[in-house]
Amino acid sequence: MALQPRRSYYESVEDAETKGRIEIKRNPSLRVDWGGNRVLSEEDMRRTARCFVSFPLLERDKHKPYDYYTAGLTFLSINDVHWQCEVQAFGNFFESLRAMMEKFGDLQAGEPFLPALRKVIAEMIPELSNTEKFPDIIVAFDKNDLSGVTVTLSEVAMIKILCDTYYQHRIFKRAASC
C-alpha cells in the first residue's frame, strides 16, 4: 500500500466560536517520491566514497560545485510548511550542475545552459523524458529571471538527481581513464 502525500501538519482545527472545521493545507505536498526502497546499499556507499575522494581538498577556488550542492541539500532538508525553500534548493542544485558542467567542459561560460544540459542528458540518461515545465524553469534560472516561475519539490528532486547522475558519470569516467 502506497502512502498518500501528507498535505497538512495537524489532525484537525476547529473555530472556537462557530465550531466549524478549518482546513489548512500545503499545496503541493511536502513529499518527494524518491522511488522504492531507498535505503543506501553498500554500492551506494562505495559510489559516495569515490565522489568524496575526488573533492579538491586544499583548492578552495575549485569548491564551487560542491558548495552549491551542499547548500541545495541544506535548503531541501529545511523546507517545511513554515519556510518553503523549493526555489533556493532548486537554484543551488542548478548552480552546482552548471559549475560541474563547466568544470568538465560540457558547458562554456556564457553559453545557454539548456542545450548543453539536453546534450548531457541524451548521453547519460537518454530514457529521461522532460516535462514541458522543467525546461522553462531551467531557462528562467539560466537567465536569472524567476518571474512567473513555480518550483515544486518534484522539480527540486529532478535537478538533484541530474546533479547526482552527472557527477557520478564524470567522476567515474575520469577515474576509469586513470
How far, in Å, CA of 154 to CA of 152, rounded?
A: 5
Count CB neighbours of 79 within 10 A: 18
State the pLDDT at residue 86.
93
Name residues whose C-beta falls within 8 Å of residue 38's C-beta, 6 or more positions apart in sequence: none
Least confident of 16-25, 85-94, 128-137: 128-137
5 pLDDT more than 50 = no
Distance CA 58, CA 110 (A): 27
Is the per-residue pLDDT at 122 higher than 60? yes
The one-letter code for the residue type at 80 is D
- Helix-helix angle 153-177:86-103, to 10 degrees: 20
Are the CB atoms for 141 and 114 separated by under 8 Å? no
**How do the domains of the chain map onto residue ranges?**
62-178
Higher pLDDT, 107 or 63: 107
| pLDDT class of 131 with cuts at 50, 70, 90 | very low
Enumerate the β-bridge partners of residue 13. Answer: 22
Higher pLDDT, 13 or 108: 108
Determine the pLDDT at residue 30: 64
What single-letter amino acid sits at 46? R
